[in-house]
Amino acid sequence: MALTVKEDKGFKYVDEGNGPVLMLLHGLFGALSNWQGVVNRFAANFRVVIPMLPIYEMPVREAGLEGLRKFVEEFVALKKLDDMIIMGNSLGGHVALVYTLKNPDKVKKLILTGSSGLFEDSMGGSYPKRGNYEYIRERVSYTFFDPKVATKELVDEVFETTNSIPKCMRIVAIAKSAQRNNMADEIPNIKVPTLLVWGLNDTITPPMVAHEFNRLIPNSSLKFIDNCCHAPMMEHPEKFNELMEDFLLN
């Protein structure tokens, strides 16, 4: 299924299928293609909604977790979404946590995969270098257990993004906001059933982070996928979807 991007009052988003709302939140360098396997699997039984977070467009002074939370709140209000299952990868998981804590009545279940919020080794320990294609290729490959998943198309997309000074300013501001925002004291207040799906070989939010999320979130379960790094839904889409399905239907 090719994903169709819709626009409404300045928001860009994907809205596929019918049923309970499954909202997907992408990471700092996330793209719609990250979620292709999830949409293909679940749009038959769920209304899969993917707001495109304004990471590269939002005013620099608002570029951070609070700005992204407010964006999601405004999007949810516009589309009149309720009783949602929210899934976030990397920074998207962090946004999902912040949103859920502020809007507990809107969220039915939570799925986090490679989420920031406790610790992350952003871009392999450094901020993006402009104009260095080989560096960007290496950093994108670092996100995956199998470097071949980092296709030229994906590397080109990240390179184009990091080659823009305004976009880079926002990326750095948001990354710093995420690193400052340690949620260890807050996430025990997450009450909804939560599934943690982690790559056993995650180098950015290592397995110890997953165990800590599992310890701190009261009603959470943790599943690992072997030979998998920071984006399980891309590296092992079938296994990832199986774990999701078990959680969604039970």
Boundaries of every domain in the chain: 6-120+182-249
pLDDT single digits (tens) 222-248:
999 999 999 999 999 999 999 999 999
Q: What is the CA radius of gyration of the chain?
A: 17
Q: What is the CATH number of domain 6-120+182-249?
A: 3.40.50.1820
250: burial class by Cβ within 10 Å (0-12, 13-18, 19+)?
exposed
CA distance 244 to 195: 8
CA distance 249 to 124: 36
Q: What DSSP designation does 182 have? A: -
pLDDT single digits (tens) 73-116:
999 999 999 999 999 999 999 999 999 999 999 999 999 999 99
CA distance 217 to 7: 35
> Tokens in use for 247?
């959680």
> Is residue 173 a contact partner of residue 64, using CB atoms and an 8 Å limit?
yes
Q: How far is CA 228 from the centre of its chain?
A: 16
Half-sphere exposure at residue 134, Cβ-oriented, CA atoms within 13 angstroms: 0
- Please give the backbone phi and psi of residue 112, each rounded to the nearest 5 degrees, phi first: -120, 135
Read off the pTM. Answer: 0.91
pLDDT single digits (tens) 47-80:
999 999 998 888 888 889 999 999 999 999 999 9
Q: How confident is residue 151, by pLDDT bands cut at 50, 70 and 90?
A: confident
78: burial class by Cβ within 10 Å (0-12, 13-18, 19+)?
middle
> Is residue 196 a contact partner of residue 216, using CB atoms and an 8 Å limit?
no
> Is residue 81 a contact partner of residue 23, using CB atoms and an 8 Å limit?
yes
- Only one residue has tokens 């809205």, namely 15
> Is residue 165 a contact partner of residue 129, using CB atoms and an 8 Å limit?
no
Rounded mean pLDDT of 11-32? 91
Q: How many CB atoms are located within 10 Å of the residue 217 CB?
A: 22
Q: What DSSP designation does 183 have? A: -
Residue 213, pLDDT above cutoff 50: yes
